[in-house]
């Protein structure tokens, strides 16, 4: 599940692909390594409690995680620029050939929603995405304005609609487990070594999603 960093096109790197072409390049590279991607058939894990479809997702964001008091993307971005809180995505994550990242996000949401809705009735899933599927985990961000680069409100009901036994995500660099609507949401990002020094313990590797163990 690529995140924003994998999609960056930095001016000093030799690979000049942007947007969808860059994503497709990553998909091809992962397939050569035997790694499942959001473009492949969803694998099924034969869990003791019953089969689970593991759904790797690539959904992007659409600036709809607005900071408190903001009503539009333009207003939220203006506030962020004024405060000096600007994601590098604004200069390095391109949406070509889509006219904007919101448009690319719209397309990804539509195609992914169709795939998940086509699963047999009653199918249990593990939904895995780089960005959180619900807004709540972003409430603890040190800089609330950064939330607009962290997901979309349009996936808020997906864990319930698609019968998720768990949701797995990263991006925020705040490894923890939270529960929303009775569903476990696990952030598994490692973050940077400088971030580890602020914590009582280094990241637990690997993170076990199921069966549920006592969380540290």
Q: Where are the alpha helices (DSSP H) in 96-191?
A: 101-117, 158-161
> Domain residue spans in the chain?
4-196
Give the Cα separation of 65 and 76 in Å (integer): 9
Q: Is 148 helix (H, G, I), strand (E, B) or coil?
A: helix
Q: For 146-204, how does the pLDDT look when each residue is reduced to its tens digit (9 = 90+)?
A: 999 999 999 999 999 999 999 999 999 999 999 999 999 999 998 888 887 777 777 77
Would the pLDDT of 216 be above 60? no
Do 83 and 38 form a contact (C-beta atoms < 8 A)? no
Would the pLDDT of 215 be above 70? no
Give the Cα separation of 101 and 169 in Å (integer): 20
DSSP state of 151: -
176 or 58, which is more confident?
58
pLDDT value of residue 214: 63
Do 163 and 181 form a contact (C-beta atoms < 8 A)? no
28 or 71, which is more confident?
28
Measured over all CA atoms, what is the biggest interatomic distance in the chain, rounded to whole angstroms? 52
Q: Which residues contact 121 (CB under 8 A, 6 or more apart)?
A: none
Q: Is 79 helix (H, G, I), strand (E, B) or coil?
A: helix
Q: What is the pTM of this model?
A: 0.93
Give the Cα separation of 163 and 99 in Å (integer): 33
């Amino acid at each position: 599940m690529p995140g924003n960093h994998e999609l960056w096109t930095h001016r000093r790197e030799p690979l000049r692909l942007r947007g969808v072409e860059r994503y497709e390049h990553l998909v091809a590279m992962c397939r050569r390594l035997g790694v499942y991607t959001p473009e492949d058939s969803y694998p099924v894990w034969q869990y003791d409690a019953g089969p689970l479809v593991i759904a790797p997702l690539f959904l992007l964001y659409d600036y709809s995680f607005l900071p408190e008091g903001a009503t539009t993307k333009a207003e939220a971005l203006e506030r962020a620029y004024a405060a000096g809180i600007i994601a590098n995505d604004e200069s390095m994550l391109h949406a070509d050939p889509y006219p904007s990242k919101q448009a690319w996000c719209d397309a990804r949401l539509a195609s992914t929603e169709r795939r998940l809705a086509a699963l047999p009735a009653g199918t249990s899933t593990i939904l895995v995405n780089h960005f959180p599927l619900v807004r709540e985990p972003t409430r603890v961000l040190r800089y609330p304005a950064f939330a607009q680069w962290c997901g979309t409100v349009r996936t808020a009901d997906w864990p319930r609609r698609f019968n998720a036994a768990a949701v797995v995500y990263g991006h925020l660099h705040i490894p923890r487990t939270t529960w929303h609507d009775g569903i476990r949401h696990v952030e598994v990002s490692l973050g940077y070594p400088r971030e580890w020094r602020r914590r009582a313990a280094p990241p637990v590797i690997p993170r076990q999603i199921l069966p549920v163990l006592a969380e540290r």
